[in-house]
Amino acid sequence: MWQCPKCERKFKSENQSHYCGNVTTIDQYISEQPEELQKLLSQIRQTIHAAAPNAEERISWQMPTFWQGENLIHFAVSSKHIGLYPGGEATVVFAERLKDYSYSKGTIRLPLDKPIDFDLIADITRWRVEQVEEKDKNAAKLHEN
């Protein structure tokens, strides 16, 4: 692991060439990842996008993020896994389907040496969308009264 002294981002190989400024779009984030991961990352992005069609794509905390009134889900590449960050409640609700994964509250690690479960990513994302839309409805109701 090598950490760039200028931007403090971490890379697998020493002096990895990269754009040192802050990443501002998901396209840029993906294009800076190792080539062998780019297709997979695009598929993950498409999966989340399809499950959350009204969410806005942005970068938060240096991670690709889907935002719909709040952060729905982030993902990020690590050396041996792709981290999925759907919020603390999601990992409780989906615990049964996560038992073969390494995960902690709000963080799911999808190992890079195993096939990625896109259905899991889609289901978690849809659940997050339902959660924020439910919240919006309740807020609207409060307003009416």
59 binds Zn ion (CB under 5 A): no
143 binds Zn ion (CB under 5 A): no
Say which residues have a Cβ less than 8 Å from residue 37's Cβ, sequence separation at least 6.
Answer: 77, 112
Phi, psi of 59, rounded to the nearest 5 degrees: -110, 125
Write the binding mask 15 to 54 for Zn ion: x where contact by CB under 5 A, - elsewhere: -----x----------------------------------
Q: Rounded to whole angstroms, what are the CA distances from 79 to 8, 10, 110?
A: 15, 9, 11
Contact, 44 vs 121, CB < 8 A?
A: yes
Q: Whole-angstrom Cα distance, residue 27 to residue 84?
A: 18
For residue 74, the minimal CB distance to Zn ion (Å) is 21
10 binds Zn ion (CB under 5 A): no
The DSSP letter of residue 70 is S
For residue 65, the minimal CB distance to Zn ion (Å) is 21
For residue 21, the minimal CB distance to Zn ion (Å) is 8
| Selected range binding Zn ion among 2-10, 40-48, 87-95, 110-118, rule: CB under 5 A | 2-10
Total interface residues for Zn ion by CB under 5 A: 4
Q: How many residues are present in the chain?
A: 145
Binding site for Zn ion (CB under 5 A): 4, 6-7, 20
